[in-house]
Every structure is written in C-alpha cells, then in structure tokens.
Structure 1
Amino acid sequence: MAADLIHKISPHSVSVTIDRLAAAVEGAGAKVFARVDHAAGAESVGEELRPTQMLMFGNPKLGSPAMQAAQTSGLDLPLRVLAYADAEGVVHVVYHDPAELAATHGIAPDAEMIAKMTGALGKLTDKAVASE
C-alpha cells in the first residue's frame, strides 16, 4: 500500500460504508459531488470486480484556498475516498493523505486548509467505519 494512503477497516459492507460516509459528509455541511460504483461499471462490460465504490466530495471553504495556493490542486480536488472488499470480504476504506496533496502541488505542508482537510477526512471516515 502506498505510503501516502490512509487505510481503515470497516465492519460494514462497501455500500453501507459509502452510505455512512455520504451522510457524514452532508451532515458536516460539505457536498457530495459523485458516487462511482466501479464494480457496476465492470459488470456493464462483462467484467467482474469485487464491491468497490468511490465517493467524491468537498467543501469550497477548504478547496478554494488550496486552489488559490496552487491551482493545479484542482486535479486532486474534490477529495475522494474509496471503499472496497478484498478477497476475504474485508471492507477497506482508503484515501490520500492531504499532506501528499500539499507536497504534489507545492502548498505549504503546514497550511491551514491542509490541516483542516486532514482532520475532516479523519473524522468523516471514522464515522463511516464506526461500529454503531
């Protein structure tokens, strides 16, 4: 697993995990921009893929300052979280560490928006994978 990926395990199915993440995102006042079901896409062309879904979401209050600091960061924004089931059925939640976004696009690693993105992603994904 790449060093810049944050990895968590979910006790829920992929679909329920992404549902919970979407609810947490919207509950925090951010916007869900897209939900991509990669397994459904694979099935549509006759291929098989274990359950795999990606949620794309963001908050312009955080993304806009990042793009003002480095417009190329728009390539990696809005934020994305992937949930997938491995061969044993364990559901994994992964996302890029915002520190990598800063490094990739030349944003100061201690920039306030990077710290806020890091905190938000941690809290939102914790809600998605919580057992209750």
Structure 2
Amino acid sequence: MKKLLLALAITMTSFTAQASDLVTKISPHSVNDTMDRLVAAVEKAGATVFARVDHAKGAMSIDAELAPNQMLVFGNPKLGTPIMQQNPAAGLDLPIRVVVFQDTDGKTNVAYHNPSRIADDHGLPADFKALQMMGGAVDKLTGAATAE
C-alpha cells in the first residue's frame, strides 16, 4: 500500500509540474474572431504564420462533433534559431503553438505552453534570452487577441 501511495504522489507531482506551464486566457470574442485577431497580431509583429488548423473541421470530416477549436503555429527565426543552435531537439517544441477553443461553458479560451519549459526540456539555461523574449512575445500576442 505504501508503494502505491508513493507512486500516486509521484504521479500527481509530475502532473502538476507539467500542467503548470500551461497558460490559459479567456477571450471575450468567438473562437474564429479570436484566432483572426491572433493571426493579425502575429503578422503585425513580423512573425511567420506557418499553419492554422481547424480541429472542429477535422472532426466533421469523420462525422464527429467537436466544439470550435483552432490551433495556430507561428514563429520568428530570430528567436527560434538561437534556441535550436543550443539544442537542435528544441525543434520539437518550435514553432510556437496556440490553441483557441470553446469550453463546455461556451467561453473562448486561448492556451499555450509557456516557452520557458523549453529550457527545462532541452537543457538550456532558465535565463536564456531568446526564450525570455519568446515568452514575452507570446503573452503580448495572445493579450492582443483576447483584448476587449
């Protein structure tokens, strides 16, 4: 029984640590409008939009229902390249992905992983300048998308 409780405690601690890097914001706009605003903010900032994925549309292709849910993949080589120069495996977490979705209460949520987790996952210093800049940029861009 002690081993089971210890395993459960370790699992919960691990889950909490992983979940803590998830940033979620509420948007007063629809999923589509929030995503349009995010795309506009990203492009205005000079970053590149690589893909806009409509998960709900994908679900419809298999005759399944999914509340509005879209993901944006975007980045800026000026920030991502120095990170991957330090550890090429960081490319697994770049470019940045932001998901905009409607929750069960009908609210629009914007969620992304804090780029600071890349330091932990890929053995980079926590104060790596490109990661700090990336974190600030994603916060500002998602803030623009969710503003009144």
What residue number does 2:140 align with? 123
Deviation, structure 1 residue 88: 1.3
Using the alignment, how far apart are the partners of 1:95 and 1:116 within structure 2? 15
CA RMSD, 1 decimal? 0.9
Using the alignment, how far apart are the partners of 1:66 and 1:21 within structure 2? 23
What residue number does 2:103 align with? 86
State how many pairs are aligned: 131
Taking structure 1 as the reference length, what is the TM-score of the superposition? 0.97
Deviation, structure 1 residue 21: 0.4
The 3-state SS of whatever aligns with 2:70 is strand
Using the alignment, how far apart are the partners of 2:90 and 2:52 within structure 1? 21
State which structure, 1 or 2, has the greater radius of gyration over its C-alpha atoms.
2
The 3-state SS of whatever aligns with 1:98 is coil
- Give unmatched runs, 5+ long, in structure 2: 1-15
Amino acid at match of 1:71: P
What residue number does 1:35 align with? 52
Higher relative contact order (CA 8 A, sep 6+): 1
Deviation, structure 1 residue 101: 1.2
Deviation, structure 1 residue 4: 0.9
Give the number of the structure whose residues are more often helix, by fraction: 2
Runs of 4+ displaced beyond 4 Å: none
Amino acid at match of 1:33: F
Amino acid at match of 2:35: I
Using the alignment, how far apart are the partners of 1:109 and 1:70 within structure 2? 14
